[in-house]
Amino acid sequence: MTERNSLAIVHEWLTTFGGAERLLTEILKIYPEASLHALLHHAPSFKRTPLAGRKVTTSLMQFLPAVQKYYRYLLPLMPIAVKRMNLRGYKVVLSISHAVAHAVQTGEDQVHIAYVCTPMRYAWHLEDNYLDAHRLNGLVTGWLARTLLRQMRAWDYRAAQRENHLLAVSNWTASQIERYWKREARVIYPPVDVERFAPEKERDHFYLFVSRLVPYKMGYQIAEGFNRLGLPLVIVGDGPEFARISKIAGPNIKLLGYQPDSLVTDLMNRAKAFVYMAIEDFGIAMAEAQAAGCPVIAYGGGGAAEIVRDGETGLLYREQTTVSMMEAVRQFESRASGFDGQSARQNAMRFSTSRFREEFTSFMKPFITG
């Protein structure tokens, strides 16, 4: 095996194109000959993405019928599947992890670098959200699920002691790594394609929310709030929460489903403000909105506090509730003209793709040439 193809990249599961997949895409541009591995790969989901046609080596989970529909319920099997991934022969293994990918088995003659989006959020800080979303909060099912998650936390901690090097996508994630895994991580912010945005001088009147529509992203709560505010809201994204949000959306709310980057770019360039409620590990969509000169109104936990300059490029509210979000929107309405789009765009430049390439290749240089 030559030096240039001695890198294996391990991703959790390739089923949707989100923030982690954008990070993966940029790393593959730097190391195009790297071997890509994942627990499972649903190729049809990537037809309109930069990962279309990419060869992926998968685990035994791939052979389960229609596994992309229920793989999240297979959490107890994932430690077994990831342990059986064959990575022998690669000089360097890079895992991109928000659940189990960091637990891949490597030998003493290999270097394992884990680029961590977050420690397994549903086993640690979002346990209750996970159980509620999957209706595992009954007397018996709740006890069984919590017992399993307790075991997963112990397994996750042990696995995290084996990586040679840890990278984190944000200071927030680094703090979670230190809290749960008792290890230090170097922060390298993920790449944001800031150059694709060209802010409009005159903003439109609608607010914007772009996200996968899953429970912890809190799109339902945002829709509830805007129903009460009566202000125009555009929601872009798809997922299991789409139907639930559709049922409550008033005439002031437009649900567009999944949309290509070209339309998302246009909406961000024109939106009055971008709204968010979830605790994000980093928050690429928020950084993209800033690159578009769009103020961000977000809960001040997680990566949002590292992206938004409160009072200058957006507003951060202190409580993760619909009422607190609504109060922040009302505050923004009273002073919207005080936010300068160029300040927001300049703020986002520190997350640029060129900056990421420089930082990431500098870190990787001692281990592999690209």
Tokens standing for residue 335: 């002073």
**Does 154 reside within a domain?**
yes
Kindly report, residue by residue over 326-354, the tens digit of the pLDDT: 999 999 999 877 898 999 999 999 999 99
Tokens standing for residue 212: 């996968």
**Does 291 reside within a domain?**
yes
Give the C-alpha separation, 274 to 114, whole Å: 31
Core vs surface per residue 285-312: b (16+ CB within 10 A) or e: bbbbbbbbbbbbbbbbbbbbbbbbeeee
Q: How many CA atoms lie within 13 A of 303 on its CB side?
A: 22
Q: At what angle do helices 19-30 and 284-291 cross, to 10 degrees?
A: 80
pLDDT band at residue 48 under the 50/70/90 scheme: confident
Cα dihedral 164, 168, 169, 173, rounded to 10, equals 150
**Does 28 reside within a domain?**
yes
Looking at the structure, tell me whether residues 118 and 238 fall in a common domain. Answer: no
Give the C-alpha separation, 37 to 33, whole Å: 13
Looking at the structure, tell me whether residues 136 and 220 fall in a common domain. Answer: no
pLDDT at res. 144: 79
Q: What are phi and psi of 103, to 5 degrees?
A: -90, 10
Q: In this predicted model, which residue has the larger pLDDT, 370 or 353?
A: 353
| Angle of CA points 83, 60, 98, to nearest 5° | 55
Looking at the structure, tell me whether residues 145 and 51 fall in a common domain. Answer: yes
Give the C-alpha separation, 197 to 89, whole Å: 42
pLDDT at res. 121: 80
Are 291 and 194 a contacting pair, CB within 8 Å?
Answer: yes
**Does 286 reside within a domain?**
yes
Instruction: Give the count of domains, the chain.
Output: 2
Looking at the structure, tell me whether residues 103 and 177 fall in a common domain. Answer: yes
Domain of 11 in residue numbering reads as 7-191+352-364
Mean confidence (pLDDT) of the chain? 92
The one-letter amino acid at 125: H
Looking at the structure, tell me whether residues 142 and 203 fall in a common domain. Answer: no
Looking at the structure, tell me whether residues 171 and 220 fall in a common domain. Answer: no
What percent of the chain clears pLDDT 90, i.e. is strictly above it?
A: 79
CA distances from 123 to 71, 103, 147, 266, 315 (A): 16, 15, 11, 37, 30
Kindly report, residue by residue over 179-201, the tens digit of the pLDDT: 999 999 999 999 999 999 999 88
Give the C-alpha separation, 116 to 101, whole Å: 9
pLDDT at res. 148: 83
> Edge-to-edge strands of the sheet including 314-317?
253-257, 233-236, 207-210, 273-276, 296-299, 314-317
State mean pLDDT over 143-166: 90
**Does 210 reside within a domain?**
yes
Is the pLDDT at 370 greater than 50? The verdict is: no
> Which of 296, 297, 294 has the alpha carbon at shortest distance from 271?
294
pLDDT at res. 1: 41
